[in-house]
C-alpha cells in the first residue's frame, strides 16, 4: 500500500497535435519526476521510414501491417537521450524529418499497424513511473492512466517551433510549407476511423501557446503530483 510519504509511480499520458510540444514536455516532466519517457510517435515514424525504404504502398494495410509486425522495435538510452532502434539500427535521427512524419501519419491510419504497435506501447506503460506521448495514449493505449493531458498550441506557433527545430539541426525549413503540412497531418490524424487524435473525456487540456517550456512544465508537475 502506498502511504502519502511514498508517492505512487503513476502513468502519465500526453496526447496532442503535431509539434504541440508533447515531446519536449514529456521529456522534461519525466526528468523532473525521475520517470521514464516513451515517445510512441517514434514507433510510427520507424514504420513509415521502413515502409518507404521497402517501397511499399503506404495505404496497403496488409503489406505495411506485416512489415510492422516483423520490426524489432525497442528504445534505448545514450548520452544523446532517448533513442529508438529497429534491430541493431539506431534510427532516431533518420526519422526526424517531415517526409517521414507524413509517412508515419499515413501508416498510422492502418488498423494492422496500430495493432502491431499496441502491445509494446502498453508493456512500456504498464509498470507506471512513465510519461508516454502520442495521439491515442489516453484514449486507447493507457485508458487507465492516472493523469491524461491534451497538449495543444496555436498552429502558427507550432509551425514556427518546428521550423526553428529543423533549422537548429541544419535542415531547410519553409515555415509556410511546414504549417500546411502540420494542418494536413492533424486533419488526417483526427479524421481517421481507428484511434483518432482526440482529447480523452478525462484529460486536462493544456495550451502551450505563448508560454515557455518552464511555465508549462510547472503546470504539468503540479497536475502529476496531485495524482500521486
The interface mask with ligand CDP, positions 163-202, x = CB under 6 A, is ----------------------x---x-------------
Let me know if 83 is exposed, middle or buried by CB neighbors in 10 A (0-12, 13-18, 19+).
middle
Choose among 159, 161, 152, 190: nearest CA to 177. 159
- Strand 81-86 and strand 73-78: pairing? antiparallel
Least Cβ distance, residue 3 to ligand CDP (angstroms): 34
Question: Judged by CB under 6 A, which of 10, 38, 40, 58 binds ligand CDP?
Answer: 40
Question: Given the rule CB under 6 A, which of 41-49, 65-73, 163-171, 206-214 is the region that contacts ligand CDP?
Answer: 41-49
Q: Which is nearer to ligand CDP, 5 or 201 (CB)?
A: 201
- Cα(160)–Cα(210) distance, integer angstroms: 12
Enumerate residues 6+ apart whose C-beta is below 8 A from 174.
163
Residue 42 beta carbon to ligand CDP: minimum distance, rounded to whole angstroms: 6
Interface residue with ligand CDP among 11, 13, 19, 200 (CB under 6 A) is 19
44 binds ligand CDP (CB under 6 A): yes
Judge contact between 225 and 151, C-beta under 8 A.
no
Q: How many CA atoms lie within 13 A of 223 on its CB side?
A: 23
The secondary element (H helix, E strand) that includes residue 47 is helix 40-53
92 is a site residue for ligand CDP (CB under 6 A): no
Minimum CB separation of residue 165 from ligand CDP in Å reads 9
Which of 101, 125, 138, 155 lies at the binding interface for ligand CDP (CB under 6 A)? Answer: 101
Contact between 208 and ligand CDP (CB under 6 A)? Answer: no
Q: Which three cell numbers stand for residue 148?
A: 491524461
Q: Which is nearer to ligand CDP, 7 or 191 (CB)?
A: 191
CA distances from 23 to 71, 145, 150, 223 (A): 23, 18, 12, 17
What residues line the site for ligand CDP (CB under 6 A)? 18-19, 22-23, 40-41, 44-45, 101, 104-105, 108, 134-137, 185, 189
Amino acid at each position: 500500500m502506498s502511504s502519502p510519504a511514498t508517492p505512487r509511480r503513476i502513468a502519465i499520458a500526453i496526447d496532442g497535435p503535431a509539434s504541440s510540444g508533447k515531446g519536449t514536455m514529456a521529456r522534461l516532466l519525466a526528468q523532473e519526476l525521475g520517470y521514464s519517457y516513451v515517445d510512441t510517435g517514434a514507433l510510427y515514424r520507424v514504420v513509415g521510414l521502413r515502409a518507404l525504404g521497402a517501397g511499399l504502398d503506404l495505404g496497403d494495410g496488409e503489406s505495411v501491417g506485416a512489415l510492422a509486425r516483423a520490426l524489432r522495435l525497442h528504445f534505448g538510452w545514450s548520452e544523446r537521450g532517448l533513442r529508438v532502434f529497429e534491430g541493431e539500427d539506431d534510427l532516431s535521427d533518420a526519422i526526424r524529418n517531415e517526409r517521414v512524419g507524413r509517412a508515419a501519419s499515413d501508416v498510422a491510419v492502418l488498423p494492422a499497424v496500430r495493432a502491431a504497435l499496441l502491445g509494446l506501447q502498453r508493456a512500456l506503460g504498464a509498470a507506471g513511473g512513465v510519461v508516454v506521448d502520442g495521439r491515442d495514449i489516453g484514449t486507447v493505449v493507457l485508458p487507465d492512466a492516472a493523469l491524461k493531458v491534451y497538449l495543444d498550441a496555436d498552429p502558427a506557433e507550432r509551425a514556427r517551433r518546428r521550423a526553428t527545430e529543423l533549422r537548429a539541426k541544419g535542415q531547410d525549413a519553409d515555415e509556410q510549407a511546414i504549417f500546411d503540412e502540420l494542418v494536413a497531418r492533424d486533419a488526417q490524424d483526427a479524421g481517421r476511423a481507428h484511434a483518432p487524435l482526440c482529447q480523452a473525456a478525462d484529460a486536462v487540456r493544456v495550451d502551450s501557446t505563448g508560454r515557455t517550456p518552464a511555465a508549462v512544465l510547472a503546470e504539468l508537475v503540479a497536475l502529476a503530483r496531485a495524482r500521486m
